[in-house]
Chain A
Amino acid sequence: MEKETALVRKARRGDASAFAALYQEYYQDLYRFALYTLKNRHDAEDMVGDTVADAWAQMSSLKKAESFKAWIFRILSNKCRMRLKDYLNKTEEIPEDLKAAGRDVEESADVRAAFARLGDEERLILSLNLFGGYTSKEIGRILDLNDNTVRSRQKRALEKMAEYLEK
């Protein structure tokens, strides 16, 4: 933690290397989070890129040293939520490429395909938990839900997934 504190201090003063070192720790999870939430590679890349630019520009608004992760995930999750809202208003089809996103074993592709069938909110809840490391209470705060509601929706989402995978 001490190291991250020093990096945040430096990044706040405009040290790009320090920022990159902080980002290094989380960038994979940031991208995975965006991809699993949005199901679209191009948009996921855009959202993470935007998040990086915003985070860099707003380093001075980062209050707590140890919360760099929570902070940058909050920026990204807000962007992803807004993008999900945009999808609802769009008439054209957004290509879903979550399933084909990785060159890996078939089982993983099946898991991603099942995940992609979940609803927007279900994906958001699971992604926040899995990649953002948020607790149900924290997710509740982000999504304006009671934490019990978050837990029950997460449970329901996982049950759905199990069902999809068994078929």
Chain B
Amino acid sequence: MDQKELLDKIRHSAEGIEIPEQLTPQSVEEKLKRGAQQKKIQRRKIMIRWMEAAAVLAIVAAGGTQTELYKQWKEPALSSDADMEKPVAEQDTESSVQPEEVTASGEFKQADSEEELYKTLQELEKQTGSYARGGDIMLLEESAEIATMDAGAADTAANQKVTGEADYSQTNVREAGVDEGDVVKTDGSYLYILKSSGSVRIVDIRETKMKEVAEIQPEKLNESIEDLYLDGDRLMLVTTGYESSMEEAESDMYTVNRYQYTALTVYDITEREHPEMTGRITQEGDYLQSRKNGDYVYLLTQYSPSLGDSFEDSSVMPLVNEQKLAISDVYLPDQTSQPDYLVASGINIQDPENVISSKAIVSGAADFYMSSDNLFICNNNWNDGKSSTEILRFACEDGEITAGAMCELPGFLNDTFSLDEYQGYLRVLLTEDSNGESNSLYILDADMQVTGAIRDLADGETIRSARFMGTMAYFVTFRQTDPLFCADLSDPDNPQILSELKLTGFSSYLHPYGDHLLLGVGYEAEEETGSQTGVKLSMFDISDSSQVEELDKYVIKGASYLPSDYNYKAILADGEKNLIGFVCDGEYLVFSYDEEKGFQNLLTYTMSDWEYWDGDASCRGVYAGDEFYIVDQDEVLCFDMNRDFTLTDRLSWN
């Protein structure tokens, strides 16, 4: 019998095997759908009760490594709604809505005890079964004063390079000087790469031939790595994970605890070949974002309290390093819309175990912006057919997080570039949608009081991109053409629009590019219809703010997809090095800009397999000295910039 014949026989022997009913696509689909309805509950530390001890035993036997979802659908006693007493929280989400007045500004309230917090949350849960709420938006009648703002000069500098003379690229961050985690980091000598398979690889790039020198796996099996930070000889990993456990509460009642957490693990990489863990902190909740300012990392997670039908059955305090937060660290803005918390901790990377401060804000945070001194948390609300945005300010200094003030403004934010703090003032660009679309610019002081505003800009258009540079603001609105607005904000009480440049298409990303230049990355569109015809690069001369000019444009006809629209970290734009790199329709493109010749296409690299999903969004271009690296999902390509971007080496994990 030859091998092929035998293989066929084995394959044939499997054909008569019956597939268990539980595994058929039909029953899987049903169970997943049932699970999806309970998704909100599953994210929490949950409490499931049922009366059949037999089912409980079966669950225990099934082991603790399975996900909640599977447990819930696998066991008959659980999969039947009739047998399972629904958690109170879920029942209440279906109850009627209590209209709640939306006010423009509010105070941070605090509860006196966990019991009181529990009651407030339960009330909130009852009230917010759906998102609709009544009431008009009243503009900024009063503001809370809790802390005064330390108005540091948050310099949104044109140059994102913060390491002086170092000749290598940095992560494209929102705020100069405030680092952000990413999937690739470099220090010029090594690349630190988060691979799709979930480990971190350290690659030596000092020689022409690249060499992997170390691999770091998450500390625990059930963790996945989300972001990397690099600071000299320290490498930090932000990971997420969960732990499930079950305990007997009464003879016929078991509680299933699902503890979802985010961890920051610090490694000493003095010896790149032997990374050593030096410290770690865990914080309950889903990972939202993080920032790093000097030695301090701020970790933001979203925590959902578990609300049972009594205080004893509930868990309302998030854990940081397995310690409950103090009640005095929990804030309850009086107009919050959902009982989830934003948990923020300040951590010194030299001593991560001793968290400097942790705060929890009951808030459904959507957007974040961190300047060098403050964290701004933005919630988008929607009432009576119009959007409003609540902005909460927390001061962040050397890891210490202090509640500041809050306000609510009409309209919605385009992205984090729509907010910017400069010399103690917060500038905000919003698109209002109450009566058709229009746009506004607000300037707020440290108490979150409006000092000046421009409203009713570009009726019928929406903001597509923005960049604040010192006292100037540049922003793009679009319906059929792209007016690039330039505003002077040097007088916080009286902002002025200086010019408006109308162009075809629009920029979805703006980046300062050396002296007096502003790079726009976006789309070309037909002037008459506004329909998109390709991807466009624009270079603007902003030396004369009363007359901003487009110096050159480069259109990639027919191209339609810029993953960087969803993650600005996917863009490399460095005016000093004169390099622009980004992914477009599965190709990594590198450009430079020449005053005489305009945009120069230096490299077009077709990604090996551009059907990547997050692959194209997590692809990064970085440079170190004369080398340009494209870090693709499972490979690193090295190009020599002095030799017309000749491919000189390739390190592949496939």
Query: A: which residues have CB within 8 A of B?
Result: 5, 8, 12, 14, 16-17, 19-21, 23-24, 27-28, 30-32, 35-36, 41, 45-46, 48-50, 52-54, 56-57, 60-66, 101-105, 107-109, 111-112, 115, 126, 129-131, 155, 158, 161-162, 165
Contact = CB atoms under 8 A, between A and B. Distances in A.
Interface stretch (B1-9, B127-135, B201-209, B523-531): B1-9
Nearest to B3: A158
A17 B24 CA distance: 13
10 contacts: A8-B613, A19-B29, A27-B25, A27-B28, A48-B23, A49-B23, A63-B614, A64-B615, A108-B13, A162-B6
Given A20-B28, A57-B69, 15 more contacts: A5-B611, A16-B29, A27-B24, A35-B17, A52-B23, A64-B613, A66-B611, A102-B16, A104-B15, A104-B17, A112-B14, A115-B10, A129-B7, A158-B7, A161-B6
B13 A112 contact: yes
A74 to B, nearest CB: 9
Nearest to A25: B25
Contact of B29 (A14, A20, A60, A109): A20
B612 to A, nearest CB: 6
Q: Is the interface of A mostly helix, strand, loop or mixed?
A: helix
Interface string B67-79: 1011000100000
B54 interface: no
Residue among A20, A57, A66, A112 facing the most chain B CB atoms (10 A cut-off):
A20
B228 to A, nearest CB: 17
Q: 9 tightest CB-CB pairs across the interface, nearest first? A: A104-B16, A53-B70, A20-B29, A102-B16, A16-B32, A108-B13, A111-B13, A24-B25, A102-B17
A14 B66 CA distance: 20
Nearest to B18: A102
Contacts of A49: 22-23, 70, 74
A45 B23 contact: yes
B70 A115 contact: no
A57 B62 CA distance: 19
B335 interface: no
B164 interface: no
B613 A63 contact: yes
B57 interface: no
Contacts of B633: 63
A35 B14 CA distance: 9
B433 to A, nearest CB: 24
A19 B77 CA distance: 25
B12 interface: yes
A20 B25 contact: yes
A45 B20 contact: yes
A103 B18 CA distance: 8
A141 B65 CA distance: 25
A3 to B, nearest CB: 13
Contacts of B611: 5, 64-66
B32 A111 contact: no
A27 B19 contact: yes
A161 B8 CA distance: 13
B238 to A, nearest CB: 16
Nearest to B609: A64
B23 A31 contact: yes
Contact of A63 (B10, B28, B29, B615): B615
Contacts of B613: 8, 12, 62-65
B67 A14 contact: no
A19 to B, nearest CB: 6
Contact of A52 (B7, B70, B224): B70
A32 B36 CA distance: 28
Nearest to A154: B3
Contact of A103 (B13, B16, B25, B196): B16
Interface string B582-616: 00000000000000000000000000010111110
B26 interface: yes
A53 B69 CA distance: 6
A105 B615 CA distance: 47
A115 B25 contact: no
B612 A64 contact: yes
Nearest to A99: B13
A162 B10 CA distance: 11
A6 B6 CA distance: 37
Contacts of A66: 611
A105 to B, nearest CB: 8
Nearest to A34: B23
Nearest to A29: B14
B324 interface: no
B243 to A, nearest CB: 15
Interface in B528-587: none
B17 A52 contact: no
Residue among A49, A56, A61, A103 facing the most chain B CB atoms (10 A cut-off):
A49
A27 B20 CA distance: 10
B220 interface: no
Interface in B24-51: 24-26, 28-29, 32-33, 35-36
Nearest to A59: B613
Nearest to A33: B14
A63 B198 CA distance: 12
Contacts of A56: 32, 35, 69
